[in-house]
Amino acid sequence: MTKKLLNGFLLLAIIACTTHTFAKGVSPYLPINASPLVENEVNRLATVAGISNLTRPYSLATIFENMEKIKDSHPRLYSRLKTSLARYTKSVSVTQFSTSIKASQDNHSVANQRGATTNSNLNISFRTQWQSDDWLGLYFGGDLTHYKESHLDSQIQPTGSLIALGTDWAQIDIGYKDIWLSPFQGSAQLLSTHAETLPSVSVSNNRQLDTFGIQWNYNAFLAQTSRQLVQFRPGEFSDKDKPLVAGLHFSVQPTDWWSIGASRVFQFAGGDRPVSFGTLARAFFDPRGADNDASVDEESGNQIAAISSKINFDGEIPFSFTLELGGEDTSNNKAYQLGNTSLTAGLYFPYFFSEKLSFNYEYSDWQTGWYSNNVYSEGYVNEGNVLGHWAMQPQRDFDTATPGNSHFLEAFWQLENDSVLSAELKTSELESTANVIYQDAWELNLDYSIPWKGHILTIGTYIGEDNFGERFSQVKLSWEL
């Protein structure tokens, strides 16, 4: 019996030491907003190597493939990424683990943190992987958040828990996968990580595809949101079934330095509304007739779309320039014109006049009507949190959908002792209504991260003032594997 156990442990050890480069099979993903320092390095890689993806999360197959492009041109970046991502090359591994202790007396919604608020005093996040075979990957993860003064003592999300099947050109993911439909780092108009992670089924390529010399990517998914009252006939509502969200993204890379893409998201079904492929097909091919000109009982649901472009400039000071035009509806009674538009523009400098400093700026502006719909009483949300841009959370709390804008600035400064000072500033402006008066909001997040015995220790503070003039603050101490 003892010999069998020893043989079993030896077999597990051999499996754990086996390395993978994800050359032909499925691949794990780099978690979104879980490890800011690693993500900053990957964002640098995306610009200098010209990663074509306009959505996140990045697959490790894509990251490792593009790392080879900068091995000679950016040896320090290559070395740091190779070290920090080494655990992903093992068949069995804990790929990410962090815990944060926080102190606050407020209850403010934190942007892009899966529904978390400043009322939390403990957060634990982890991701593990088992690359069983080239065609099969088993990933287990989760986020535990404990609240000191709330109707919820704690919140557990199985974020990162999924089964991956297939190959590099068609990976099927089943479970709780984060989906960020935007080329930007600070916000995503169509789908972000501001709300709790949705259970979903998706199919996408984990490596850039090449067809007749044309580079392209795709992602299609079906997800389920939380329960809400849904209007299925004029004046009649039901919360029998949970609404569904379907999305489609496609992008091409005409040149090594330019990527363009398009995304569409459909919110449909729920309550007593029927679920059918015909509903989706009608909404996709006739958005005007299926939504704008349809009665409540014939309306397909709610849909939003965006077209995006990212250009990477190479030179002594490399940078990327990104644009995205979104629409919450159609315009001028034409299916091909976006209505209730949004515009986001961004400049990212991976090396801002220095190899030790990176800088990012993003600006968003939107018209009325976003995330609001006559069919869905709470709108485009999950557990009360908007599925898209964080700055519109206050509007959904008060059932308004007015114009507004936001600014996002982020900087990472690497110091001599390999510690990192990071700063993140967000501002937002919402147009007031007759019943709700909004004020200009701002928030500042400062972190000082220190390498310690192979791990990362972070001390930080988070302060600001919301759109109702309420101040909030939080201090934190974090430890990362």
Nearest 5 degrees, angle CA 82-CA 85-CA 88?
A: 125
The β-bridge relationship of strands 162-167 and 154-157 is unpaired
In terms of phi and psi (left: phi > 0; alpha: psi -120 to 50; beta: otherwise), the region of 290 is alpha
| Contact by Cβ (8 Å): 330, 294 | no
Residues 6+ apart with CB under 8 A from 428: 391, 404, 405, 406, 407, 440, 441, 442, 467
Q: What is the 3-state secondary structure (H, E, C) of the chain?
A: CHHHHHHHHHHHHHHHHCECCCCCCCCCECCCCCCHHHHHHHHHHHHHCCCCCCCECCEHHHHHHHHHHHCCCCHHHHHHHHHHCHHHHECEEEEEEEEEEEECCCCCECCCCCCCECCEEEEEEEEEEEEEECCEEEEEEEEEEEECCCCCCEEEECCCCEEEEEECCEEEEEECCCCECCCCCCCCCCCCCCCCCCCEEEEECCCCEEECCEEEEEEEEEEECCCCCEEEECCEEECCCCCEEEEEEEEEEEECCEEEEEEEEEEECCCCCCCCHHHHHHHHHCHHHHHHCCCCCCCCEEEEEEEEEEEEECCCCCEEEEEEEEEEEEECCEEEEEEEEEEEEEEEECCCCCCCEEEEEEEEEECCCCCCCCCECCCCEECCEECCCHHHHHHHHCCCCCCEEEEEEEEEEECCCCCEEEEEEEEEEECCCCCCCCCCEEEEEEEEEEEECCEEEEEEEEEEECCCCCEEEEEEEEEEC
Residues of the chain with pLDDT under 50: 1-2, 4-17, 332
* pTM above threshold 0.75: yes
Helix 36-48 and helix 60-67, axial crossing angle in degrees, nearest 10 = 50
Residues 6+ apart with CB under 8 A from 142: 125, 126, 156, 157, 158, 159, 160, 161
What confidence score (pLDDT) does residue 16 get?
42
What confidence score (pLDDT) does residue 336 get?
60
d(CA 386, CA 321): 26
What confidence score (pLDDT) does residue 6 get?
42
- Burial (CB < 10 A; 0-12, 13-18, 19+), residue 203, is middle
What does the pLDDT look like over 284-320, one tens digit per residue?
766 655 565 555 666 778 899 999 999 999 888 999 9
What confidence score (pLDDT) does residue 412 get?
97
What confidence score (pLDDT) does residue 337 get?
66
What does the pLDDT look like over 344-394, one tens digit per residue?
999 999 999 999 999 999 999 999 999 998 899 999 999 999 999 999 999
Give the CA-trace dihedral at 313, 315, 317, 320, to 10 degrees.
10
